[in-house]
Copies of this chain bind each other. A is one copy, B any other.
């Protein structure tokens, strides 16, 4: 009765959201094995059996979080327009990806945990959707390079670099803030730095 795409009551909807939010908090900090249902239930403000009434098992909660996460994560890349102005499109992608890291650090860490541990629950998605989208967009970047509109560089590693540089500020937030010290806005500084970096890397030289 409780499963399937049926309409849910307001309370049900509300509790599912409470649980998913709590689970995101805990899974993103401890990984799948390190997280416990006790912690999640406590953060959600529910009893453990009640949590398990909504989601049949720990696995189900985790899977519910991963489903859709990859899409959210790839949307900024998907939005890169092949018909647009190259420099503007790439900078837009960098900015959107950095915004995601700033506004959804827990999602970033959940993803990082998953990949760090060998992506046991995301392998298919990574080898499928993610891989083909990257190659699709790499082809676009390659074309722009052929046309001399941006400087030549390995397009796939260019995409890797954007992932690495933006997600670093979410995943290693603790380290970044410890080094910078108080009175800094890591993401604002990162935006300026990345703008400079990609301008110098990609501005074509005649």
Interface residues, chain A, with chain B CB atoms under 8 Å away: 29-35, 109, 112-113, 115-119, 123, 126-127, 130-131, 134-135, 151, 153-154, 156-158, 160-161, 163-165, 167-169, 171-172, 174-176, 178-181, 189-190, 192-193, 196-197, 200-201
Contact A193 B127 (CB under 8 A): no
Write out the residue numbers on chain B whose beta carbons fall within 8 Å of the beta carbon of A127.
178
CA–CA, A66 to B179, complex, Å? 19
Write out the residue numbers on chain B whose beta carbons fall within 8 Å of the beta carbon of A33.
30-31, 33-35
Q: DSSP majority for the A interface? A: helix
Write out the residue numbers on chain B whose beta carbons fall within 8 Å of the beta carbon of A172.
112, 115-116, 163-164
Give me 11 other A-B pairs in contact (C-beta within 8 A), A30-B34, A119-B175 excluded. Answer: A31-B34, A33-B33, A115-B172, A116-B171, A131-B178, A153-B196, A154-B193, A168-B168, A197-B197, A197-B201, A201-B201
Write out the residue numbers on chain B whose beta carbons fall within 8 Å of the beta carbon of A176.
160
Max chain B Cβ within 10 angstroms of own Cβ: one of A134, A163, A181: A163
Contact (A30, B168) CB under 8 Å given A156-B180, A179-B130:
no
Give 13 A-B contacts (CB < 8 Å), ordered by A residue: A30-B31, A33-B33, A34-B117, A112-B112, A112-B171, A115-B174, A115-B175, A116-B172, A123-B178, A130-B175, A154-B192, A197-B201, A200-B200
Write out the residue numbers on chain B whose beta carbons fall within 8 Å of the beta carbon of A200.
151, 200-201
CA–CA, A130 to B179, complex, Å? 7
